[in-house]
Amino acid sequence: MPQDSIIQMLVSGQNDLEWFKQNLDYLKSKYNNKFIAFQDKEVIESDANLDELMKKLEKKGINISRVFIEFVSKIKTIL
């Protein structure tokens, strides 16, 4: 993979993570207790079950290594 492509992917990923942080309150209200897959500052799929989310992404032909997947909840989780 050319170095320019890698840099572009890293910048895009950083932008997506920043978008996620900035929109977390909205995402919690809309996708409470769900896993969300997002890319390019957009939620592309969601499900309460991670396995089902993966199946949905696969069915859409989405490469899961190219998207972020996060669990959103109004309740703070402590690990």
- Three-class SS of residue 42? strand
H, E, C per residue of 65-78: HHCEEEEECCCCCC
What's the whole-number average pLDDT of the chain?
Answer: 90
- The residue with tokens 């896993």 is 35
Q: Which amino acid is at 72?
A: V
- With residues binned 3-state (H G I as helix, E B as strand, rest as coil), the percentages for the chain, rounded to 5, are 50, 20, 25
The per-residue pLDDT for range 52-62, each reduced to its tens digit, is 999 999 999 99
Residue 79 has pLDDT above 70, yes or no: no
DSSP state of 23: T
The per-residue pLDDT for range 23-44, each reduced to its tens digit, is 999 999 999 999 999 999 999 9
Q: What is the pTM of this model?
A: 0.83
